[in-house]
Each structure stands twice: as structure tokens, then as C-alpha cells.
Amino acid sequence: MKQPHQIQPAEGKLGVLLPGFGAVATTFIAGVESIRRGLAEPFGSLTQMNTIRLGKRTDEMTPLIKDFVPLVGLEDLVFGAWDPICDDGYESALKAGVLQKDSHLDPIRDFLSSIQPMKASFSTDYVKKLDGPHKKSGNKREQAEELRQDIRRFKEENGCDRLVMIWCGSTEIFLRPGPTHETLESFEKAMDEDDESIAPSMLYAYAAIMEGVPYANGAPNLSADIPVLEQLAIERGVPISGKDFKTGQTLMKTILAPGFKTRMLGLSGWFSTNILGNRDGEVLDDPESFKTKEESKLSVLEQILQPNMYPELYGDMYHKVRINYYPPRGDNKEGWDNIDIFGWLGYPMQIKIDFLCRDSILAAPIVLDLALFLDLAMRSGLSGIQEWLSFYFKSPQTAPGLYPEHDIFIQHWKLKNTLRWLMKEDMLTHLGVEYYD
Ligand SMILES: NC(=O)c1ccc[n+]([C@@H]2O[C@H](COP(=O)([O-])OP(=O)(O)OC[C@H]3O[C@@H](n4cnc5c(N)ncnc54)[C@H](O)[C@@H]3O)[C@@H](O)[C@H]2O)c1
């Protein structure tokens, strides 16, 4: 990838388009509006709160990321969404039950109610546990064309200079990449023929890329993670990234597992189970959607611990992930981890984690950062897979043949070094010998 000569300024409005207007999407937009009105702080967001060190430690140059790279300001964001359920932003946020009605939703009710979702490209063939009346008809190709029109209309009606799209829709059933996902010709033919290998999330990704709109996938389903769309993104000069927002239990896994490995501590088993009662939990109660999620969650430990390289430490590890739909909990998930590790002379030890987690609270700042960073990538002339955004995903999308990097600390370093690279600053190696000359 070439270093950009010049980054276009972040002028004008950025439209953030969200397929899926449920818990994560409404928590995200309600949060941004509350921050804009001075009612909240952007906790959890790197673009808003994190600093970046430039030069040597003794140079004492650590600006905020948002002061270092040209990012669009929160005041310039406008939001659009699609959902088969036609609740406006206020009704949907109330049902999601993440944010408190009195303290967080009612003060911005006018704003939330003003956002009505557009008709979704949706089919219960791909998400079995929910349905709604607010959806497009016609074959898949016609629906993709309608999505493209929605995008253009939204841009014009809202006076946007640029757009980004972030999939916040439900997890679709497990699909493997196949022949229809190889070339534009086979993909478009499959859309014309309503082929079952083309899921709705692929139609949104296709529409976004065709319209020159950067795309990120917050769920584990394939969506843009197929050869045809990766290639199309490069040809059209559009950045893409995915998959599956890294929150909750997997976030903890990618924080802890690198620690065990750096100390050469062995792992014999990691058992993870969750209860959650939101709409996402209900969708994941379907075995076919759960399979998509499971694949995404399981790959993390394998890659971080590299059992092939360390068979004595990780060759026999048993890794199990369960998600249980339990309605009384709503969005307040509880995740238990039992971790069996071993050390010197093979003596076993156990670690127990009980994470009383709020998934959408962890996911919302990820949506914000992805929107701002993808817009930065677009203005910098980057296209195709943006590996530097791996930090935000459970299953980072990578070039074919390249294994993904899951270690959150490496991902964080990679993200910040990419920002330094974009701004033509020296990259950080943490070598440190220069201080001892
Ligand atoms: N909450 C988290 O922390 C988290 C973490 C990682 C991934 N995710 C994923 O993000 C997605 C959203 O999570 P959520 O908690 O907001 O779920 P949610 O069920 O509250 O919202 C998803 C919304 O997507 C809509 N939808 C489904 N298919 C659609 C389509 N084809 N077009 C438009 N809308 C569609 C549904 O009607 C629903 O309103 C899920 O796939 C979830 O697995 C969430």
C-alpha cells in the first residue's frame, strides 16, 4: 500500500449509514448526540480520548489522536439506518433497554425520534429468529439497486460530503465463500437469480462499495469478506474492514492470552459461557447464526497462542464457547470464563472471570471510531482491506493467505503506527537504545 501524498481535509458533513437499527446502533447515535450536547464524555473511544506519542520519550510530544490526524468532528456527523422493524431511534433504543429512559433517552428524544429507518433488504432465510414488515421486495439485484438509490438520496437530502457504512445488523446464518463470491460477473449473476449464497449483508456491502462508500462489518457473517467485494473495493478505491466488533468476552481473551504467552505459561483449557437476553441473544439462539458467531470467537486463541509453535504449552488446549439466551438479563450480559493454566513443572492454576458486561456500551465507541477512521482512510486514498483497524474486530479481515493478528496490544501498536505512517512521522519501535548512547 502506498503512503498517501496528501490527505484531503475533513470538511463538510459525514453521513454514517447503519444497516441494523437495534441496540448497538441506537446506543452509538444516542451517545454521540449526548456528547455533542455536553451531557456525556466519549469514554471508550480512541479517536476522542487517546493520545499518540510522537518522536522520542524525551520529546514530550503526545497530542490527542484527533488533534494529530484530520478527523471529522462529532458535530459534522449525520445518521441514517435501515431495519425491517420500523421503530424510530427513540422507540428502538427504548426496546433495546441499554440506556436509561429518564437520564439518557428522554433528554435527546427529539433527535432520536427524528431518525426513521429505511426499508431493509432482509430475509428470514438468513436471520431466522426475527422478522418485520419494513423491507424491500424484488430480487436481490433489484434490492441492491434500491440500496444504492437510498444511499444517493440520503447523501443529497442531508447535504453530506461523504458517507461511511457500518453493518450493525443481526448475525446471519453461517455461509462459506463459494464460486458465486469469486468474480463480479458470478456475483451479479447470482443476485439476478436470487441465489441463496448471496446474503442481505452482502447486498449492503456491494451497494456501499459501488457508491464509493467505505464499509465495515460489525457482525461475524461474511458480508464484504469475499473475494469479489475485496477486489471491487480496491478497484473502486474504497476502504473496507471487518468482522465482528471486539467486545465482552473476546476482548478479555485478547487482553489475557497474550499475557500468558509472553510469560510462556501453558493453557490446558478455556471454557467461556454467557447469558444475555437482548435481541442479539435471541438471534444467536438459532444454531445457524450461533455457528457464525462461534467460528468468529474460537479462532482467537489458536492464533494468539500458536499451538503449532508451542505444542507443549498449547497443543492440548480445550476451548469451548457457549452463548445462552436468557431474557431476564436484557442487554446486561454476564460472561463466565474458567481458565486452566499451568506453570513451572506443570503445576496447574485456575483463573475465574465473571464479567458483568454491557455489550452495546462496549460496542458503541467502536462504531464511532470505525466511522471516523474509515473516513480518514478514504480521504487518504487507501482502499481495500484496512488491516490497521483489526483492533476493533474479533475476526480481523486480512489479505488472502495472511493470518489475522488478534493480540490487542499488537493491534493497538499497528493502528497507531499506521496513523504515524499516514502523517509521515517516525514509527515507534520501542527499542530505546538511543537513550543510552
Ligand atoms: N453488542 C455487541 O457488543 C456486539 C459485539 C459484536 C458484534 N455484535 C453484532 O452486532 C450486531 C448488532 O448487535 P445488536 O446488539 O445491536 O443487535 P440487535 O438485535 O439489537 O440489532 C440488530 C438489528 O438489525 C436488524 N437487522 C437484521 N437484519 C437486517 C438487515 N438485513 N437489514 C437491516 N437491518 C437488519 C434487526 O431487525 C435488529 O433491529 C449483531 O450482529 C451482533 O452480533 C454486537
C-alpha cell at 48: 476522542
Bridge partners, residue 219, by sequence: none
CATH of 249-358, one of 1.10.150.530, 3.40.50.2300, 3.30.360.10, 3.40.710.10: 3.30.360.10
Residue span(s) of the chain under CATH 3.30.360.10 come to 249-358
pLDDT tens figures, 162-205: 999 999 999 999 999 999 999 999 999 999 999 999 999 999 99
Report strand pairing: 332-342 vs 266-276: antiparallel
When pLDDT is cut at 50, 70 and 90, the band that residue 155 belongs to is: very high
Among 19, 208, 22, 217, which Cα is nearest to 120's? 19
Residues of the chain with CATH 3.40.50.720: 13-245+361-422
Could you give the CA distance from residue 102 to residue 132 in angstroms, rounded to a whole number?
28
**Which pLDDT tens digit goes with each residue over 357-398?**
999 999 999 999 999 999 999 999 999 999 999 999 999 999
* Pocket-forming residues, ligand 1, beta carbon under 6 Å: 19-25, 82-85, 96, 120-122, 127, 130, 132, 168-171, 200, 218-219, 244-245, 247-248, 278-280, 283, 359-360, 362-363
Pairing type for strands 160-167 and 77-82 reads unpaired
CA gap 17, 154 in Å, rounded: 9
The full length of the chain comes to 437
Question: What cell numbers appear for 326 in the block?
Answer: 436468557
280 pLDDT more than 90? no
Tell whether the torsion through CA atoms of 6, 11, 17 and 18 is positive or negative. positive
Distances (CA, A) of 313 to 252, 257, 262, 345: 20, 12, 12, 12
Q: Report DSSP letters for 156-186, one per residue.
A: HHTTEEEEEEEE-SPPPPP----GGGTSHHH
pLDDT in tens, 120-150: 999 999 999 899 999 999 999 999 999 999 9
Cα-to-centroid distance, 1 and ligand 1 (Å): 32
Which of 82, 150, 280 should be mutated for ligand 1, with most atoms under 8 A from CB?
Answer: 280
1 in helix, strand or coil?
coil
Q: Which of the listed residues 28, 168, 274, 286 should we mutate to test ligand 1's pocket, taking the one with most ligand atoms within 8 A of CB?
A: 168
Alpha-carbon gap, residue 218 to 225, rounded angstroms = 12
So what's the pLDDT on residue 2?
Answer: 78
Q: What is the CATH number of domain 13-245+361-422?
A: 3.40.50.720
Q: Kindly state the average pLDDT of the residues 344-348.
A: 98
Q: How far apart are CA 65 and CA 294, in angstroms?
A: 34
The Å distance, Cα 173 to ligand 1 centre, comes to: 13
Q: Is the pTM of this model over 0.85?
A: yes
Q: DSSP state, 117?
A: P
C-alpha cell at 424: 509521515
What burial letters (b/e) apply to 153-191, b meaning 16+ CB within 10 Å? ebbeeeebebbbbbbbbbbbbbbeeeebbeeeebbbebb
